[in-house]
Structure formats: structure tokens, C-alpha cells
Chain A
Amino acid sequence: MGKIKARERDAIIQSLAAGVVPRIGLQHIQVDRKDEITAILTDLDRVSNKAASIRFIIGKYGSGKSFFLNLTRTLALEKKFVVVTADITQNVRLAGSNGKAQALYSELIHNLGVRAKPEGGALSSVIEKWISDIDYRLKQQGKGQNEIVQAIHQELQPLQDFVSGYDFSLVISRYYEGVISADEKLKSSALRWLAGDYTSKLEARQDLGVRSIISDEDFYDYLKLWAQFARMAGYAGIIVFIDELGIISHGLNSPQARDANYDMLLRIVNDCLQGNVSSIGFFFAGTDDFLNDTKRGIASNEALSRRLAKNTFKIAGIKDFSGPVISIENLSIEDNYILLCNIRNVFASGDEEKYLILDKGIEDFLNYCAKTLGSEFYQTPGEMVRKFVSLLSILEQNPHLNYKGILYPDNVQKEAINAGKKSDIPVVQSQTDDDLRSLRL
């Protein structure tokens, strides 16, 4: 692997130190999951070929679902997709009343990202990209603004075949009007409407002249519209990432609420598998309870569980990704080892000569974590990675220190005393675990 970009390096280190999954540069720390990644890439290719795709990333706590979801997101961005992401919460659901589903749509659109704006907030970028293309082209042809507005309507004609397509295209053209007349209010109103932030139809009508707003019932229709629009704007399509589906199964106590969400999922699954939608891909992540709990999980919904059923010929050890479910296994000790090696590599910006710790040191660090973290060590690499990043940060800032002195300050001192001489290894005084954690990079 070649050198690592500085931006990616910093992003990775900061994210890992904060205990969150980096948004960029994931390829540098990804460990194994070869088959899963191949499956994902196939999915993305399928979507970019005007088809649809759906995947459920299922795994236990700490198995790396979110990491994998972010990796997929990064890959999608790289493949020129528009990506939207959101986490399910009690008030942000696939289906629900009092704006709960609308909140999911809003969350998705606010987190809309493109390659040049991977962190989200790229709604206006996507719209402007399309509008500016048309605008530039038509201006080159010597067309006036009115003609351009008409042309925009004309261009958006295909969208009007979709449900709510007319209002959508109307709002896009309103945005253009705002751009050419430098009417910031009109622009922001249009963006608000497209982001599903309007709660009153009257308000929307006064601001934009549209009769409808994006509501709980039709947010999925607008996602489909976005898929088409993204395609028109020159993107490969739209990829929707929704995490924490476990909230639906184990956070909602009302069976009716759960069923409504499962019905929405069923609708999406059906559309994706039957080919009713195009240029859109869905990636959901949830715990294995969400999938397998026969009382509260997907297994309680017969239609959905049948569609997500595993291949009956699946043999242990052999993976099959023909179904929509990708099961993520927890990282093994060896996986953790490679992960730490990769992080070390990121720290050194891919330069082996700059490695702050040797392989033996990584092994020692694993032992240290196994002792201090207990069961969490075997469940999730999160805390271990945080500690490792902290360790490397200390080593980077204090090149004269030895990792042993940081991990086992008492032992080192004792050894020094036993040897009857002052240790030549500098010792970090009373470096507790918390101190270690609180170190700033």
C-alpha cells in the first residue's frame, strides 16, 4: 500500500482517538472482509447500472457493523454516488406518526454527502451541479433566463412521472430562480422544502407556491425521486445508509409500531428485489437480535423474514451473499493484530521506517488490553483502538519513551530497582488508564 494522504491520516487518527468510525480513509485500516467488500462493490456497480440493491449488515455488538457501513459509504462516494445516512432512534423511524418518518428523511437529506463533501450537507451542491450544467450549457447557446427556467421544467419532466414528482421539480426550479435572482430566502426555502423541514403546507405554499410538503407517508417516494435526480445531475445514483435498526425491534414497545416499520422495510425490500426502483441502494445495519428475535425482530414478520432468509444450503465456513443479509463476525485476535498494524501504518503515513512500535510491541499491547479490558476486548475493538492510538500519539510526541514504560510503569521501575541501577528507560509517572485516554493528539 502506498502513501496515505495527510487529510486521511489526520481524519483516521482523530476519529479513532475519539472512538468513532472514520469517514474517510477507511481502506487504510480495513482488515480482511474480502468477500463482504466484494459483495458490496458488486451492489454498488449494480446501482450505478440503473438497478437497485438492498443489504442488511447484521452483526453482534462491536462486530464492526458501523465501520463496515462507513466503509461502504466511502466506497459509494468514491464511485460517485450521492449518499445519505441516518441512525434510527425512538423519534426517527421508517414509519411513524407525528413526523417520525419525516424526521428520518430530514436526517438523511441533511447528511447527504458527495465525493467533494463527504461529511454531508451537500444538498445545495447536488442541486447546483445539475442546475449549473444546464445554465452554463443554455447560456452558451445564448438562451435567456426565462428560457432556462422553462428548460429546467422541461429537463425535470421525467421526474413528474413519479409520485410527488411535480412538486419536486417545481421546487428545484424555484431554487434556480433564487440563484439567478440572488434571492437567498427563496433558495433556502427551496432547500428547506427539499430537506423535509416544512411542517406546514400553508407555509410551503406561501414561500414556494407548492401545495404539498414531504410527510411521514411519502418520504420513500421522495428518496426514489432523489435517486432519479442524482442520476440526472451526473451521479451514479443514491445510496441510503440506515444504522441502528435494533431500535425498531427492541426500542419500540408497541407491536403495532414495530409492524408498521417492518411493513415499510418490506415495501423497500420488495421494490429493490423486484426491480420497481432504480439507481438506489439501501444499506441497513442492525444487531443479530433485530434479525433473529422471533418475538420482536424481523423474524416476527413472516413476509420479511422469508425474504431475508439464509440460503438453506449454506455450509459452515462458506459465505453466501446472494441473499440481502451480510453477517459480520466479530474481529478475531489475529484481525485485531492486523488492525493495529494498519493503524501503525496510518500513523507512519504508510512509511515503514516511521513505525512507532514493532510487531512485538503490538503483541504486548494486545496482551495488555486482554488483561485490562476484560471481556470488552473480545467483543469490540473500539476501546483497544483508542488506547492504541493514544499510545502511538504519546510515542510520536515523546520519541525517547518506550511503550513498555507507558503500559507497565510499575514493572519497569521495579526491574530497574532490581537491577540496582536507574533504569535507562524513561518512565511515565503514574500514567493511569484515564490519563492515557485523556491525552490529546
Chain B
Amino acid sequence: MVDDPNGKDLNNPEYWKEKGNEFFKLKNYEESINCYIAAIKINKNFAPAWNNLSLALRKIGKDKESQDCLNHYNKLIAKSSVKNSNRGIQKSSFLSFFSNAISPLFKKDSNSQFKPATDVQKTITPPHPKIEITFNFGAPDIDTGDIQKLKFAGLGETLKIGNYKIIDPITYWSDETSGDASCINLRLPIGREVFEDRRALPYYPQYSQISPEQRANYLAWLSKGKQTEVYSPGYLFIYFYGLERRIIVDKKDQDIIIPEIRRLLSIYSSENSVNAYFQSLLSYIVGSSLDISEQKLRESFPDLMFLTDESLIIALAWFYENKKAISWDIAFSIGRKLSQNYKPYLLKNIQEEFKTLFKKKYSNLFPNGILLSCPETPYKFEYRTASPTLINYRYQDKYQTRSNSQIFLPNPLGEPHQFENIVKIFDECIESLLPFSRKINKTNGEITVESFCALPDELKDSIQHPDKGKWDHLFEAHKKDNFSLIPAGEICTLLNIEKREILTKKQSNMLTLTGQDIGYQVIPDPKLSGKPYRWADIIGLFPYEKKRTPLTNNFYAAALIFDLAYSVALSDAPVTNDEMKHLNQKIFTDFVDLTEFERDCLICFQEIRKYRPEPFDKQASRLKEHLTLDQRITVSNFLIEIAFFDNVLTSDEQKALKKAFSALDIDSITSDTLIAQELSARDQEKPVIIQKGVKIRKGEPIPQPVSNIPTIVIDSEKLIQTRRNTEEVQKVLVLVFNDQDSEIESLNINPSCPNADVEEQETRINTELTPLSETAISKLEARYYPILSEILKINQMTFDEFDALVRNFGCMPQATLQEINTWSDEEFGDFLLEENNGTIIVNHQDILQ
């Protein structure tokens, strides 16, 4: 027994497993591997250590070794559950396993006991910086004897097992016990077909290990042509193991197996594991024989656009080996693999458009495809067998540098720069199709006008515009020669543009672009005229012959020159046919090279101008930017020629010429010289009459100033009525204002003063004292008589004097003022006393008058 410092039993595998687990948790996988191996050394059948070892190996990337350990663990578990643990892996084989594979990690002590290289209790630093473990289990299940027992039934053969008759079985069979997973052992019992769960079969199923009922299910599937539904993908794999063995071990029947796998893939492609393994086998087949024909290649990979990474490498290797330029479809796969922008979901709904666009672009850029180059370093392709009986096969030849399932291939992907253009095209396609994709997502895949507009131009030719029928109908309805002149409003109605006098720039551009998309050149182009269409404009449609042929700058130049010349010709009188003919002859022949199509378009343009002649404007000045001085002088000469065509130069023509010269940036000296030259040239032929003077335009007559007629009308009847009413009202008012019989008098009668009248009489004023009549005085209360007498003697007094005066007579100033004024107002129509800024003014005169 070896004890550690803590007194633990170091010969207990459980201890080493726990230690390994501790290291595993600390992510120190290398040390944990050492511990698990120590545990296995102590007890080779200690299954948990095998399992954990497998996990730890996987963590450090030793997948193969990990798988081997796992398989071993599975076997241990299986054996321990069926029989005693001494059956299965022989001790000798394990000893050899350790001696060959694990021993480098361990030191042997004198007791031949294995100890870990490091005392894991003291340090967790692994003794070896790099662990290299090579498992070599040998091939215990595959020996020649086994192989000899296997018989292969290929195409054209028939197997009859029990009640099942299998035509073209393409599988192994045997009437003896055989180690192959797919081999149909005729001796094994067959049960009845049963309904099964998807997970009824375990991983790595074997014909010999499944239940009789499952065998019945398998045989039934085989007998039905291997195309019906299977309960579990495990059945497919049992069959596939046979195909795999045929290719890898027997290396036969490739021609049969490739189509068979493709057939199975077409039926059962929904199974991911089936897809992966089957495709991988196909890749292996092609990769191991790159000299196959292209047809075979395409047969193996019918969809070259959607190759898996593995298949792509194989396909590229084939193209390289056979020195063939890659076609657009494989370039598409390359784009998918290398593009950073590619997301499968992005263009899911528009794959066809994507393919078409890519194909067009690729074909345009690389009409002969791309020949591949390849780095020296080969690509190591290793086929991982699916069959549990073939797992060890690839390791059987342990001294070979190249295993049977491993192939080395030329790897053009190792030089990615040669695919840069492909990736660029691919990315362009994505970018230009994204707007279309978004639009079409909204309409559930239906192509509407909007989504069509979003299509890249390259695709517009290949997809029919949804409104094409309507445009064609409109074109036919207004057809004139080989073009149509259509009111803009009618086209706008097709485009659902709301009626407005002048379209917006955007609407005008949309009209032109839609026309081009449908297959018509729209004339005039708002880009040329710089003016948006008006609703009432006449628009020309000229159909493209085959595909869209955009108008060149020549056409625009010709149209501008025509506009200039036409406005000069039109300035004096309507353009005559001769003039037009001359004009066209010059433009078509002397000035610019126009294609047949452009020539037709220009005729269409001229027709439109006949309907609505437009004076040239700023756009004409574009000519001066693009033409040289010589060219401009040529054009100027042409304009002069047009102006002199009828041998009369009117003042309007002069104006038009001047304007045109200004647009062409020809200074007055040059222009005068040109005119003089033209005149001198003409002198000999026919004299030119130059009309001078300014034409007086008649103005609008100025209306006479409006006379001062009454703007209001007085209704005499109404006036009489109003006057009458007013008089009546005034009478009423006069009655009120001159009411001498005070109705209120009665209110003044104070019940507490029954002798008031008597007293009044006693204090009657001496009228001699005042110039007022007795009748008038009598209306005033008697107590105010003396005050009144005093007041009438003076013209004015201060309020204090008045106050003192009033108090002398036992009265109060405000009351007195009020009483006297009320009295005088009633009697004489005005106030006697006027209070003004502390002064009392006595209005003698008013009262006396």
C-alpha cells in the first residue's frame, strides 16, 4: 500500500478518480488525465475512470482518443450488465494498451506499480507540457475470418429472409455469426413488425444486437425498396454501415453506391445525422477518386450551389486536379462560405432571384470561369466511419502514416485571395437584393410594382413587370408609327399618382424608371430637361427592341441642339417642313453619331416638341460645359443657318439667336463675326433681309378711374319712417325732460312735518330782492330763498365762502347746491351754480336770459 501524506490509499482507483475530478474542475485537464490513467492502472475495469478520461481527452481536443475511451467504457458497462466483468477485453490487450499508449506518462517503480508522474497532492503542475496519447486498440472485431464470412448482395440480386424478399439489397449477409454491424445474420431470429418509437434503436445499432421485432422492421423496410418511412433513423444507419464497408473496406461498387446514397438523401434528408454522414461518405468517395468525370461529380453533388464545407473542399479539389475553371454554381458555394455578409435567412424568400443575379454577374465578370490555384500544403480529409464495427478499422494499420479513411487533397481554399472577386460579387448581390427582399416580405412573395422597382436592374429584364399589360395596352391605344405619344396624366393614373398640375421630381423619375423597367424608353427624360412632367404634358414611349438600351449622351446632346435650333426656327413663324428637314439632316448626319434606336427616339422627341414647344433654358447651357469652343461655333453656325433659312432675319430671330449664343457662351464679337460670315457667304446666292426695330406690343387698356358715384343708397321710404320715429322719440324725451309736474313731489312730503306748507309761506322770499319772477321762485324750497338772494348778488365765490354762507342760513352746502341747481334746471333749463375746482360760479346771465 502506498499512502499519501494525508493517509489516503493511493492504490484505490476511487482516490485517483476523485483527484482527477478535482483537477477537471480546475480545468487542469492534463493533470486530471494523469489521475484517471492512474486509476485505470490500478483497476482496468474501473468504468467511471474510462468515462472521465474520455471527457478530459475531449476537452483537450483529443477527440479520437476520447471516442475510443468512451467506446471502451460502453463495452465495460454492457458487459457488466450482461455477464461478469472478466468477459470482453482481455487482460493481455489492456496490458499492451498501457504499455504502448499510456506508459510514457508514468514511471514504473520497483514494484511494477504505476504511479503518477507527479505527486498530485503537492502540485498541480503537469510534468509534461504536452500530452500525446495515441490509442491503438487494434482490430479485435475485424479479422479476416469475419470478413470472409460476409457476403455482399448487390444490384440485381435478391435476398429472401423469412417472409421478406429483398430486391437489390446492396448489403452484407451471412449465415454465420459475423462482427459487422450491418450484416444480416440469417441465423438470428426474426420477430413480427412492431410500431416503434423514434428512439427505439440505440446509437450505433447493429443487426445482430437489435431485437427480433426490430429485425423484422428492418427487413420489411429493405424489402419495400428502402424508400418507405422508417421508425428510427437507426435502421437507415444499419443499412448505411454496409454501404460504408463496401466503399472503405472492399473499395468496390462506387457506381452503385453513389446514386444509392443520393437516392437515400433525397428521401431522408430531413434527418441531420443522416445528411451529415451520408454527405461525408459521398465526399470521401469523390475525394478518394478525383479522376472521376464532371458528370460523376455533379451526380455526387447535384446542388453545387449549396455544398457543405467538406463537399466544397472536395469539389474544389476536383476542379483543381482536373484543371477546370469553376462554374458559377460552385462559385456561389464559395461566396456562401467566404462572405461575411451572408446570412441564410436574409435571402431565403428570394433564392431564385439571388441565384439568377449571381449567375449573371459571375458570367459577366468571368465568362470563362476561374481556374484555381492551390497552396502546397494539402488538406487532410479524414472520413469518420459511422459503423461501430469500422471504428477501429482506420487504426488497424498503426504503422502507416496514412490511415485507410484519410486522404490528402489539394486545397484551393488555402488561397482565399483568388476568390475575392467572387465574394465581392456575392456581397453586391446581397446588397442589391436586400431592398427587394424587404418589399417582397410584406407582400408574402407576390411581386408588386413597388417590389419590382426595388429589384436590381440586372433582374428587371428577366422578371415581368406586374403592370406590363396595362402599359402595353396604353401604348397600343396611342400608337403612332413605332412609338406612342401619351398624355402624362394617363400614365400617372396607371402609377396611382394623384392628380396635380406639376408632378414632383420623384414622381417624374418614377414614371421614367417604370417605363424603362417595363421596356419603354420614356421621352423626354426629366433628367435631360431638368423639369418634372406636367399632368398635361405629352410623353413619348418608345419600346426597347430586346433588352434595355439606355440612351447615350449623344442623344441628349442632339436633343439639346434640336431644342436650340427649333426655338430659333420657331421664333419668327411656324416651322415649315423644309426647315424641319434641313434641321434634321444637319443633326442626324453632321453633328452626332446616333444609333438607330436613338434616332427613332429623337424623332419621337421632335414630335413631342411639335405638340408643346418649349424654349430652351438652363439645360441648354449644359452644352457649353461639354462642348469645345469649336463645337459650339459649329452649333452657332448651324443656328444662324436655321435663322437665315427663309432669307429673312426678323427681330425675334435675332433675339432667339442672341439667347442661344448666350446659352452657348459665344461672345457678341464672335457671334457678329459668324453672322457677317454667313451674310457674306449668302450675298452671292440670295440677299438676306434683316428686319430691325422693336415690335411694339399692345398693352392692356387702362380702365378709366372710377367716378365718385355714391356707394351707398339711402332708402327714402325707410328714411321717412326713421325720421318719423325719431321725431316721436324726441317728443317722448322732451316730455320727460320738460316734465314740469314733478311726479316725485309727493315723495318729498315728510310725514313728520305736517306744517311744512305753513312754514314755507312764512319764509316766503321777498321777490324784490331778486330779478326772478315769483312763480319761478315759488318752486324753490323757502329755506333757500335767502341763500339764493345772496348768491345772485355775486358772480363767483370760493366753496368755503359758499359753505359759510349756507351755514349762516342753517343749511348744508352740498344739499343747497343740489337743490338750487335742480330748481334752476327745471325752471330755466340750466344750472345756476357751477362748482369748479373749489370755486362756485354763478351763471347769472344764463338764468336771467
Contact = CB atoms under 8 A, between A and B. Distances in A.
A188 B589 CA distance: 114
A149 interface: no
A422 interface: no
A135 B810 CA distance: 8
Nearest to A5: B829
B814 interface: yes
B750 A137 contact: yes
* A-B residue pairs, 4 tightest by C-beta: A27-B733, A116-B821, A132-B815, A128-B815
7 contacts: A1-B730, A7-B830, A30-B730, A78-B739, A115-B825, A131-B812, A236-B747
A133 B753 CA distance: 10
Residue among A30, A136, A235, A366 with the most chain B CB within 10 A? A136
Interface in A367-422: 367, 370-371, 408, 411
Residue among B708, B726, B813, B846 with the most chain A CB within 10 A? B726
A28 B829 CA distance: 14
Interface in B701-721: 708, 710-715, 718-719, 721
A179 interface: yes
Interface residues of A, number: 57
Given A1-B734, A30-B726, A367-B711, A131 B747 contact: no
Interface in A319-343: 332-335, 337-338, 342
Contacts of A299: none
A209 interface: no
B726 A31 contact: yes
Given A30-B730, A115-B825, A236 B711 contact: no
B729 A370 contact: no
Residue among A28, A32, A48 with the most chain B CB within 10 A? A32
B719 to A, nearest CB: 4
B748 interface: yes
Contacts of A185: none
Interface in A116-134: 116-117, 122, 124-125, 127-129, 131-133
A27 B723 CA distance: 14
A135 B825 contact: no
B732 A37 contact: yes
B543 to A, nearest CB: 64
A333 B818 contact: no
B752 interface: yes
A315 interface: no
Interface string A1-41: 11001110000000000000000000110111110011001
A342 B726 CA distance: 10
B830 A6 contact: yes
B829 A133 contact: no
A186 B737 CA distance: 37
A438 B732 CA distance: 36
A116 B729 contact: no
A283 B192 CA distance: 115
Contact of A37 (B733, B739, B756, B821): B733
A2 B731 CA distance: 10
Contacts of B744: 48, 79-80, 234-236
Residues of B in contact with A, size category: 35 or more
B728 A133 contact: no
Contacts of A115: 821-822, 825
Interface of A: 1-2, 5-7, 27-28, 30-34, 37-38, 41, 48, 75, 78-80, 114-117, 122, 124-125, 127-129, 131-133, 135-137, 139-140, 179, 231, 234-236, 332-335, 337-338, 342, 363, 366-367, 370-371, 408, 411
B825 A334 contact: no
Contacts of A140: 759
Contact of B710 (A2, A135, A363): A363
Contact of A32 (B725, B743, B830): B725
A438 B743 CA distance: 45
B737 A78 contact: yes
Contacts of B730: 1, 27-28, 30
B710 A367 contact: yes
Contacts of B176: none
Contacts of A124: 814
Contacts of A37: 729, 732-733
Contacts of A179: 812
A30 B729 contact: yes
B811 interface: yes
A37 B822 CA distance: 24
B546 to A, nearest CB: 72
Nearest to A35: B725
B340 interface: no
A370 B712 contact: yes
A340 B718 CA distance: 16
Given A116-B825, A129-B814, A370-B711, 8 more contacts: A27-B733, A32-B725, A34-B729, A41-B732, A235-B744, A236-B744, A363-B710, A366-B712
A411 B706 CA distance: 13
Contacts of B818: 114, 116-117, 122, 125, 128-129
A136 B711 contact: no
Given A124-B814, A125-B814, A131-B812, A137 B753 contact: yes
A132 B811 contact: yes
Contacts of A6: 830, 846
B736 A131 contact: no
B624 interface: no
A234 B748 contact: yes
A366 B729 CA distance: 23
B747 A133 contact: no
Contacts of B723: 338
B812 A135 contact: yes
B825 A338 contact: no
B817 interface: yes
B722 A338 contact: yes
A371 B733 contact: no
Nearest to A32: B725
Contacts of B813: 128
B810 A136 contact: yes
Contacts of B722: 31-32, 332, 334-335, 337-338
A338 B719 contact: yes
A25 B379 CA distance: 123
A125 B817 contact: yes
Given A32-B726, A34-B725, A338-B726, A128 B814 contact: yes
B747 A234 contact: yes
A21 to B, nearest CB: 15
A136 B829 CA distance: 27
Contact of B718 (A132, A135, A332): A332
A27 to B, nearest CB: 4
Contact of B816 (A32, A78, A127, A132): A132
B146 interface: no
Contacts of B747: 231, 234-236
Interface in B529-548: none
B375 to A, nearest CB: 86
B742 interface: yes
A33 B729 contact: yes
A141 B211 CA distance: 149
B428 to A, nearest CB: 65
A333 B711 CA distance: 11
A78 B734 CA distance: 11
A351 to B, nearest CB: 15
Contacts of A117: 818, 821
B479 interface: no
Nearest to B712: A370
A175 B368 CA distance: 125
Residue among B812, B817, B819, B830 with the most chain A CB within 10 A? B812
B783 interface: yes
A179 B810 CA distance: 11
Interface in B817-840: 817-819, 821-822, 825, 829-831
Nearest to A342: B726
Interface string B735-761: 011010011100110101100100100
